[in-house]
Every structure is written in C-alpha cells, then in structure tokens.
C-alpha cells in the first residue's frame, strides 16, 4: 500500500511539473518620444495672373490725354507748324508671346500750318488748322528685377495713318504730311519713354508681400490630432514673364520649410521680410506635409485575435500543439512587444518583439524582424526548444497587418479641405492637393502606434482681385 501511495504521489508531482506554466520575464515597457514638429522642404507656388485689361486701365489712368504739344510756329527751325497729339482711344495691349507685348496708342493730332513771308518788309502769312488720326505701335518686353521693380524695353513699331493731314490755303494744298512724319519719327522716342515710365509704375510687390506674410500664420490641418501647418518662407523665386490667354502670367514660388506641429497652436513668430527676387528657369512643384495616423493597441489586438484565436498550431508533425488564448501589446523603445498567452503543449506567456512599418503597396501597418524577447528565447531553448525557432514567428507575422487606408484617406481629405479654397485674408486664398504618399517614421507610444506618412502634392496661393 505504501508503495502504491508513493508511486501515485510521484505521478501527481510529475503531472504537476508537466503542467507548470512557462514563466518568462516581460521586457520593460518604455516608449519613444514623438517629435513635436515634422519638417519638410517645400515650394509654395504663386501663379500670379494679371489681366492685360488691368494693365491697360492703369496705363490709361496714368497717361495724360495730351501726349505731345508744340505751341510755337518759330521753333524747329521756323517750321510754321503747331501740333497737339492727344489720345483718341484708350491704349491697347496685345500679347505677342513670351514676355513680348504689342502696344497700340491711338491718337488724334491737331495741326496748324501755313506760311509766313516778308513783302516789302511787311510780314504776310496765312495759316489753316487740320485734324487727323494715327495709331502709334510699339513692341515692349517686360521683366522684373531682383529688387521687384518692373523693367520694360519698348521700341517703336511704326504707325498707321487712319486719316492723313490736309491743309488748303486758297487754291493751294500745303504739303505737311512729310513734315509731320519727320516730327513723329523724332518725337516717338519721347512717347516710348512715357509708355515705359507708366508700365514701370506697375507694382505687384504689395500683393506678393501679402502672400509672403499670410502663409507664415499657423493653419489647423487636422482637428483630431491638433496638427498645425506652419510655412516658414526662405526665398522667393520667379520664372520669366509669359502670357496665358489675355493675362500676363508670372510664375512665383516660395522656397520654404513646411512644419507640422502637434498639440497647441504654435505661437506667431516675427515675420520674415520679403527678400530679393531670384530669377530661375523653372519652378519645382513640391509640397510635402506629414500626415499622422494612430492605431490603438486595443484595435491591433482585436484584429490579430480575430485571425489567430481559436486556431491550433502544430509542430514536429503534430507532436506539439498550441493555441493562442490572448495578447497584450506594449512598447519597448522602437519595438512593439506582443505578450502572447498560449495553451496546449506550452502553457504560459511568451514575449515577441518586432518593428512596425508602413507598407505603401497595401497601405497597411505591418511588423518586421519578429523575434522572441531575449529572456523568452533563452528559457524556450531550455524547456521548449521546438518553439524557440522561427516557424511560429513566421506564422504570426501576417496576422499583424493593420489596414490604415481609411484613416489616411480621411486625413488627406481633411488636409485637402483645409488647404483648398481657404481664405487667409480677403485677397489671399490657398489651393492645395495631396496625392502621393510615402512612409515616414513609426513611433510606439503608450496608446498604440503613431505613424507619420508624408503626403506629397502641391500648394498654390492665389491672389484675388489683383
């Protein structure tokens, strides 16, 4: 009887030892600090279009009605001619391609001409007045200097008679056409200077400065995460002036640092002054901003358990079998730790580490470099060597694929909405579009995994009512 009891107790002890749970020490939970600011180099485009009609209005309002006046019969070598050249119709500007513009100045000319002779020492003269019409034509190239001043190079391009001058004194016709043509040829450079002077008065620096100052104010781009976009401009660039339809097109771009701030709205800093203009051949269309998505540990556990729970995993041709009962997720530096509770041939909790990453092809958060924690692996090698190798890890890896396409799309929509049609002031409006996504850093935080995804597109600032 004693022998039977002894054997029974021994079997019970052995059975108890066989069911002894696997005990591994959990790695310490610690978390990365997420940067408060995400910085990216960007170019903010300012497609400035000025209707030719507005330039015409500015020139016509500045250009006086009388363009040239000669009130003396005695000057110019006693030419016996008086002239007054005045605008007949408003000045018209036509795009010729590139930065070349045609300018037409329709004028009406009043002339008084005749003769004066001495007869027996007595001056005798006869004068008649006439009016006729001419269109002066000019070609002008417009550019902008680094100091923001408009520069023009205008040359005469001939004139067209609308009606020629006729002066009749008695039965005689006085040949004044040739005289007037010579005078016009002589005076056209003066008109050219007047046209250049008026075009040079065009000043779009205040409008550009308004954009430069406005984009330096922080903009809320994600309400959920309190993400703020702040553009810190550094240089202003411009391509050569061109035309688009009936508009003068000036391609401007701001080379800037686009910063995404998390949390409270960043304080306004002192405005950077508008710098000198840099003339470039081409503007790069590049705007990048950091999108943020966060996957809570609870959601990751739910998705993983839905795939692994209730399944039996076999090893060594079915000699060992285990089931996953539960999971616990936490962080250890840049690793995600998965505390996995097992039953079956091994009962207890094993700790697995891996690095989360963003897979652009599937737009999912996935795990790579899965391995048992050092303490877990060391103990498995001693007690359950069949599990210590990579088969179980390879089985588990696909189950940690968390789709984030919906979250990213919502973040994109929110930023698009905030960047499109947003009026920064009465004259400055934003128009942004984000398309391409590229992966950024992942951070394991106490609540879950926070992923930074960079969205690339373009950001335009349009001026209304230039």
Confidence of residue 322 (pLDDT cuts 50, 70, 90): very high
Instruction: Report the pLDDT averaged over residues 169-184.
Output: 70
Instruction: Provide CB contacts within 8 A for 325, sequence distance 6+.
Output: 309, 341, 342, 343
Instruction: Report the pLDDT averaged over residues 303-327.
Output: 90
Q: DSSP readout, 23-54?
A: --PPPPPEEPPPPSEEEEEEEEEEEEEEEHHH
Q: Tell me, what's the pLDDT at 335?
A: 94
The closest alpha carbon to 452, from 286, 260, 303, belongs to 260
Percentage with pLDDT > 70 across the chain: 86
Residue 342 scores a pLDDT above 70? yes
Residue 24 scores a pLDDT above 80? yes
> 304-330: buried (b, 16+ CB within 10 Å) or exposed (e) per residue?
beeebeeeebebeeeeeebbbbebebb
The closest alpha carbon to 126, from 118, 136, 137, 115, belongs to 115
Instruction: Report the pLDDT averaged over residues 197-203.
Output: 78
Greatest mean pLDDT among 20-29, 32-41, 418-427? 20-29
Q: Tell me, what's the pLDDT at 108?
A: 92
Greatest mean pLDDT among 55-64, 191-200, 284-293, 324-333? 324-333
Quickly list H helices, 311-442. Answer: 374-383, 385-388, 391-396, 405-419
Residue 297 scores a pLDDT above 60? yes
Count of CB atoms situated within 10 Å of the CB of 161 = 13
Q: Tell me, what's the pLDDT at 14?
A: 42
Q: Are strands 335-344 and 348-359 parallel, antiparallel or unpaired?
A: antiparallel
Q: Tell me, what's the pLDDT at 412?
A: 74
Instruction: Report the pLDDT averaged over residues 357-378.
Output: 90
**Range in 45-54, 71-80, 266-275, 346-355 with the lowest mean pLDDT:** 71-80
C-alpha count within 13 angstroms, C-beta hemisphere, residue 356: 33
CB-based contact 258:299 (threshold 8 Å): no
Question: What predicted TM-score, i.e. pTM, was given to this entire model?
Answer: 0.64
pLDDT digits (tens, 9 = 90+) for 438-454: 778 889 999 999 888 78
pLDDT digits (tens, 9 = 90+) for 255-289: 888 888 877 888 878 888 999 999 888 887 778 77
Residue 295 scores a pLDDT above 90? no
Q: What are phi and psi of 177, to 5 degrees?
A: -60, -50
Confidence of residue 195 (pLDDT cuts 50, 70, 90): confident
Q: DSSP readout, 111-172?
A: EEEEEEEEETTEEEEEEEEEEEEEEEEEEEEEEE-TTS-EEEEEEEEEEEEEE---EEETTE
Q: Tell me, what's the pLDDT at 189?
A: 82
Query: Residue 202 and residue 51: Cα distance in Å, rounded?
Result: 13
Higher pLDDT, 122 or 48: 48
Query: Residue 340 and residue 325: Cα distance in Å, rounded?
Result: 8
Residue 163 scores a pLDDT above 70? yes
Query: Residue 396 and residue 87: Cα distance in Å, rounded?
Result: 86
Residue 466 scores a pLDDT above 70? no
Query: Residue 454 and residue 434: Cα distance in Å, rounded?
Result: 10
Residue 16 scores a pLDDT above 70? no
Confidence of residue 371 (pLDDT cuts 50, 70, 90): very high
Instruction: Report the pLDDT averaged over residues 292-301.
Output: 86
Residue 177 scores a pLDDT above 80? no
Instruction: Report the pLDDT averaged over residues 356-377.
Output: 90
CB-based contact 248:52 (threshold 8 Å): yes
First-residue to last-residue Cα distance in the chain:
109
Higher pLDDT, 172 or 228: 228
Instruction: Report the pLDDT averaged over residues 403-419.
Output: 75
Mean pLDDT of the chain: 81
Q: What are phi and psi of 173, to 5 degrees?
A: -105, 120
CB-based contact 339:304 (threshold 8 Å): no
CB-based contact 323:343 (threshold 8 Å): yes
Q: Are strands 320-333 and 30-31 parallel, antiparallel or unpaired?
A: parallel
Query: Residue 74 and residue 306: Cα distance in Å, rounded?
Result: 106
Count of CB atoms situated within 10 Å of the CB of 357 = 16
């Amino acid at each position: 009887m004693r022998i039977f009891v002894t054997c029974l107790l021994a079997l019970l002890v052995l059975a108890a030892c066989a069911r002894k749970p696997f005990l591994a020490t959990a790695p310490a939970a610690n978390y990365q600090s997420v940067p408060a600011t995400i910085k990216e180099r960007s170019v903010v485009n300012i497609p400035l279009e000025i209707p030719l009609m507005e330039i015409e209005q500015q020139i016509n309002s500045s250009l006086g009605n009388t363009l040239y006046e000669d009130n003396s019969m005695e000057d110019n070598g006693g030419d016996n001619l008086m002239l007054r050249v005045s605008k007949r119709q408003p000045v018209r500007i036509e795009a010729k391609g590139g930065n070349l513009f045609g300018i037409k100045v329709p004028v009406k000319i009043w002339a008084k001409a005749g003769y004066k002779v001495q007869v027996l020492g007595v001056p005798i003269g006869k004068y008649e007045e006439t009016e006729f019409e001419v269109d002066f034509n000019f070609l002008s190239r417009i550019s902008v200097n680094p100091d923001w001043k408009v520069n023009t190079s205008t040359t005469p391009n001939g004139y067209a008679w609308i009606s020629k001058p006729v002066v009749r004194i008695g039965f005689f016709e006085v040949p004044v056409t040739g005289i007037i043509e010579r005078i016009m040829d002589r005076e056209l450079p003066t008109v050219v200077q007047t046209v250049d002077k008026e075009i040079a008065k065009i000043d779009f620096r205040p409008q550009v400065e308004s954009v430069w100052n406005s984009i330096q104010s922080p903009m809320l781009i994600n309400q959920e995460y309190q993400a703020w976009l702040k553009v810190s401009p550094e240089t202003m660039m411009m391509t050569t002036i061109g035309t688009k339809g009936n508009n003068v097109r000036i391609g401007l771009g701001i080379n800037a640092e686009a910063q995404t701030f998390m949390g409270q709205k960043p304080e306004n800093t002192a405005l950077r002054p508008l710098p000198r203009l840099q003339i470039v051949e081409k503007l790069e269309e590049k705007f990048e901003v950091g999108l943020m998505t966060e996957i809570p540990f609870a959601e990751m556990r739910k998705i993983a358990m839905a795939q692994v729970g209730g399944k039996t995993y076999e090893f060594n041709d079915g000699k060992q079998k285990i089931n996953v009962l539960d999971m616990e997720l936490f962080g250890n530096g840049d690793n995600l730790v998965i505390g996995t509770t097992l039953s079956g041939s091994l009962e207890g909790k094993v700790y697995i580490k891996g690095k989360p990453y963003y897979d652009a092809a599937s737009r999912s958060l996935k795990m790579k470099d899965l391995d048992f924690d050092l303490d877990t692996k060391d103990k498995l090698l001693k007690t359950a060597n069949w599990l210590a190798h990579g088969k179980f890890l390879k089985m588990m890896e696909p189950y940690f694929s968390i789709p984030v396409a919906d979250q990213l799309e919502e973040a994109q929509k929110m930023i698009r909405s905030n960047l499109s049609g947003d009026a920064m002031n009465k004259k400055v409006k934003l128009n942004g579009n984000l398309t391409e996504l590229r992966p950024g850093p992942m951070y394991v935080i106490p609540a879950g995994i926070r992923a930074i995804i960079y969205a690339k597109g373009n950001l335009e600032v349009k001026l209304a009512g230039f």
